[in-house]
Structure formats: C-alpha cells, structure tokens
Amino acid sequence: MAQLAERPAAATPYVGKTGDPCVMVIFGAAGDLTARLLLPALYNLARADLLPKEFAVLGVARAQMSDDDFRKRIREDVKQYCGECIDDSIWESFVRRFYYLPGNFNDDDLYPRVRDRLTQIDREHSTHENFFYYMATAPSYFGLIVEKLAAIGFMDQSNGHWRRVVIEKPFGHDLESAKILNQQLLKLADEKQIYRIDHYLGKETVQNIMAFRFANGIFEPIWNRRYIDHVQISVAETVGVEGRGSYFDHAGTLRDMVPNHIMQLISLTSMEPPISFDANAVRDEQAKILHAIQPLSNEEVLTRTVRGQYEEGIIGGQRVPAYRNEEDIPPDSRTETFVAMKLLIDNWRWADVPFYLRTGKRMPVRNTHIVIQFRRAPFVLFRDTSVEHLMPNQLVLHIQPEEGISLQFAAKVPGPVMRLGSVDMNFEYQQYFGKQPSTGYERLLHDCMIGDQTLFQRADMVEAGWSVVNPVLDLWKALPPRNFPNYPAGSWGPKEADELIERDGRCWRNFTE
C-alpha cells in the first residue's frame, strides 16, 4: 500500500529572496500600528534572515524622542507583541538600524530634515538610495506627505534607485474621494511605486486561495456555476470600537471592511486563472471580477443589503456595552456595526451564483471564513431508503483565527440500514506545517522590498470596489435606520441577515470557535 507523505515535524523556516538594500521610512512611527504590527513583522523578517544587510529604518512622528529612546521603545514593543523571547544574538544588529526624527507632517521644514537624515543613513548603511515610505498615519496625510517628498526630489527614480509609497486603508471614504486620492498620488508617482496595503492579504489562507485553486487539478474543473450553489464570506469580530470611536463612527463597518478586505476575498475566490503569477496578470483578473459585480439599484439595496448596530450583550461570559455607550460614540449614532449583502457576478463562470457576505462587530466569536457550497446530488438513488434528504458538500477556507481548509461530505453511518452522516475532513496549517511567528505583515513588507505588487491593490481595483459600495452608502444616507440598535452583542447579527439568505432556501454556516 502506498504511504502518505509524512507530516513535517517542525515549522519550515521562511525561504525566499532577501530584500533589496533600502531604508524604510515610517511616518507615524510612534503609533499603535507601528508598535503592534510593523516592528514585530520586521523582527520576524530579521530572524528569518530576509532583511538585507544594507537595511535601516527611519521613524518619523510628532512625539519627541532620540534614536536611543526609539530603540528602547522598539524593544518593549517587540517583546510585548511578538509573544516570544527576544533573540539576543540578532537583536543588537537589528535594533542599531533604527533611527528617529521628530516633526509635524504639516511642517514644510520637516522634509528637508528627512532628506538630510536619509542621506546620512544611506551613507552609513549603503542602502543605494532606495527608500520606501510607509504611511502609518491618518488618511488625510497620505497625499500631503507624498507631495512634500516629491517637492524635495525624494520620489524621483531617475538615477537607478527606487522610491516606493506604502498606503494603509482606507483608500478614500467613497468612490469620489478614492478617485481624488488616486489622481493626487499618480501625479506624483507611477503606479509601480504605489503599494496599497491590505493586511488580510498577508494571511496564509488568503495567499493559499490561488495555490489551492490553480495547483490542484481536482478543484478548478468544478469551480463554477455548474457545480457551486453559492458562496458565503463571513468576517466576524468579537471586539467593539477599541478606542477608535471617533474614527469608526465616521466610517462604519461598510466603509471599513467591504470595499477592501471583503472585495479582495471575493476577487481571489472567483477570479479566472491568470496567465502567470506576475503582479499585473493576477490583478488584471481580480479587477475583471470587481468590474463584473452587478451594481445594486435602489430597490436592490433595500432587498439585498442589511445593516445593524449592536446593543449591550454578553460575549465570553462578560457583559459588554451597547455601541452608543462606547467611548466617543454619540448617544443617537446611526452608524452601522454590521453589514450583510447579496451580490451577483455577471460573467460566464458565476452567472446566477449568489455571493453572500456579512461582517460585524461584537459577534459571538472571532472568525473569518469562506464557504463554497456545492449543489446537492440528485436524490433519485436514495428515494426508497430511509435517507430523507441529502446534505450539500461544503468546502470551507478558514482564514482566522486558525488557518486551514475543511471539506464536508456525506458518508454512510455503520449499520444494516442506509443512513448518512456528515463528515468533515480538516487541514490546519499549524498542525501540518508548524507555527510561524507572524503578524500578517511579514510577506507584505518583504514584497515591498523586492518590488512585488501581487498582493497590493491597483488604482482601478480600489475604484471598482467603491463602485459596488457607493449605491449602498447613498441610499443608507438618504434613508437613516429607524430600528438601531437591532442585534445584541454576542449574537450573529440582526434577524434580517438570516432572512436575507433564508429567502433563497439557504442558511449561514456559523462556527462556534
């Protein structure tokens, strides 16, 4: 009998091309994003030997700090958020690459000082004048900072070096503002210099969607309307606004999650096979899907979308407050904390296959997953048996908290009578390949260093995502909700979200962990 391949005993170390010599400039280096995600990701890259030897970081923020103060803070942050002991054998060489410059982003005098400091750092670390600028700032500063950098000549690539800009979401707050931001950036930089980052694409399962589909001959032939009944995408969070009340109440869940995270998941799940894994080949196919999503009319917004806002409830045995009682939230806020939608993709592969999506805060569990539900097998063979109905097969891509893939299918229950039971085959990355220290940003930062834009959104993709969302934003603004709050914290959202999918004879797949 042929033997199955042995499971690796331990995690396989990161392998890949070392990044190009460069300086990473973090605007907003004293903020939460830098502390929780960027610094630990850089440390993990250093441990994996994927940072170039000619590498340095310049942090820029308003807080007054010296280089030494910044380095002490980095040690505290990495120790807190990496969850593992710091390796002293690499720490000293890692931390001495970090520098700090205090200043106000609105101050014209800051940017000549940035230029002088970068010139000095480049000389000390031989980084070949390659710089990438990470915007860990409020969105209002994105265009301003790039404009100031261009004014001092530090977006110019004419002498063989490269200059890149990394922008965190949100990319605008509606279609019009997204277009304005894109136009502003593209006046100052080429599209190849702009890296619009979405940390969801740093997750292994999201990256694995393409590998799963296109490297396995048993799945792609049935990945279409003939075999698939519908697709569900759920992004559930147990947290509330986490101290971001003033930002979140202006944005809401629809703006915060759907045009970026969820549109990326939809496009990777439904795209056609690209001609290669070249960045533009992949993004061309993603863009086609986003443009093929049927725009919603006003009537369809009313029947195919659901919004909700949580009231007080219990999560993990703890009572949590209603959204309107959270810090910095107006007591009469009409901002949605939950969204559910039914979308259709108008192309040959997916015609008449609904894509149901939902995302919300204060849900019972933190869980992100994609459910591919296949059509039921015909019942004819079983009609004279005790089998009353056939369960459809489901393929589930688990994205967080545990990353993996599971397949649900029917099997005969042992015994003299024909009875069927539902069986799950489960694959978990951590169990099979071992656990890698990761924040989700390691792959993305490394790609910035080597110039690979595959996992970054292009301008047309950003605008296509907003094109889907804009009609919903407009109608919801014109018709404010009358029933908020309409779901208790710790539930799976308002009852209208269940009705949305149940009207079509389907139901949500909920996970308890």
Find the Cα–Cα–Cα–Cα dihedral 347, 293, 369, 174, rounded to 10°.
Answer: 160
What type of residue is 151?
A: A
Last residue of a domain, one of 113, 144, 168: 168
Q: Are residues 210 and 162 in the same domain?
A: no
Radius of gyration of the chain (CA): 24
Q: Are residues 141 and 237 in the same domain?
A: no
| Distance in angstroms (rounded) separating the CA atoms of residues 373 and 225 | 11
Q: Are residues 139 and 76 in the same domain?
A: yes
Domain membership of residue 187 (yes or no) is no
Q: Are residues 214 and 67 in the same domain?
A: no
Domain membership of residue 158 (yes or no) is yes
Q: Are residues 257 and 108 in the same domain?
A: no
Structure tokens at 205: 């399962």
pLDDT attached to residue 418: 73
CATH code: domain of residue 91: 3.40.50.720
pLDDT attached to residue 80: 83
Kind plus residue range of the DSSP H or E element containing 339 = strand 338-344
Considering the candidates 261, 369, 398, 446, report the single residue annotated as catalytic: 261
pLDDT attached to residue 458: 94
Q: Are residues 252 and 156 in the same domain?
A: no
161 is catalytic: no
**CA angle, 8 then 14 then 18, to 5°:** 155
pLDDT attached to residue 5: 47
Q: Are residues 73 and 222 in the same domain?
A: no
Nearest CA to 484 among 360, 335, 289, 314? Answer: 335
Q: Are residues 163 and 206 in the same domain?
A: no
Q: How many CA atoms lie within 13 A of 511 on its CB side?
A: 22
| Distance in angstroms (rounded) separating the CA atoms of residues 46 and 42 | 6
In which domain, by residue range, is 210 found? 202-502
Domain membership of residue 173 (yes or no) is no
Nearest CA to 352 among 220, 228, 505? Answer: 228
| Distance in angstroms (rounded) separating the CA atoms of residues 300 and 471 | 10
Domain membership of residue 14 (yes or no) is no
Cis previous bond, 485, omega within 30: yes
Q: How many CA atoms lie within 13 A of 16 on its CB side?
A: 18
CATH code: domain of residue 355: 3.30.360.10
pLDDT attached to residue 200: 75
Q: How many CA atoms lie within 13 A of 195 on its CB side?
A: 25
Q: Are residues 360 and 438 in the same domain?
A: yes
Q: Are residues 216 and 153 in the same domain?
A: no
Last residue of a domain, one of 144, 168, 192: 168
What domain count does the chain have? 2
Q: Are residues 241 and 367 in the same domain?
A: yes
Nearest CA to 94 among 77, 117, 115? Answer: 77
Q: Are residues 241 and 354 in the same domain?
A: yes
Q: Which residue has the tokens 């599209």?
A: 191
38, 60 contact by CB (below 8 A) = no
Supply the DSSP string of 342-378, one letter for each residue. EEEB-STTTTT-EEEEEEESS-SS-EEEEEEEEPPPP
pLDDT attached to residue 10: 43
pTM: 0.89
- CA diameter of the chain: 84
Domain membership of residue 394 (yes or no) is yes
Find the Cα–Cα–Cα–Cα dihedral 486, 488, 493, 495, rounded to 10°.
Answer: -60
Supply the DSSP string of 241-288, one letter for each residue. -TT-HHHHHHHHHHHHHIIIIIHHHHHHHHPPPPSSS-HHHHHHHHHH
pLDDT attached to residue 421: 67
pLDDT in 10s for each residue of the chain, 513 residues: 344 445 444 444 445 678 889 999 999 999 989 999 999 999 999 988 999 999 999 999 999 999 999 999 999 888 888 766 678 888 999 999 999 999 999 999 999 999 999 999 999 999 999 999 999 998 889 999 999 999 999 999 988 899 999 998 888 899 999 999 999 999 999 999 999 998 777 776 677 888 889 988 899 999 999 999 999 999 999 999 887 888 899 999 999 999 999 999 999 999 999 998 888 999 999 999 999 999 999 999 999 999 999 999 999 899 999 999 999 999 999 999 999 999 999 999 999 999 999 999 999 999 999 999 999 877 656 666 655 677 888 999 998 888 889 988 767 678 776 767 677 888 887 777 766 667 779 989 999 999 999 989 999 999 999 999 999 999 999 999 999 999 999 999 999 999 999 999 999 999 876
Segments of 68-114 assigned E as strands: 98-102
**What is the 8-class DSSP label of residue 16?**
S
Domain membership of residue 192 (yes or no) is no
Domain membership of residue 181 (yes or no) is no
Domain membership of residue 465 (yes or no) is yes
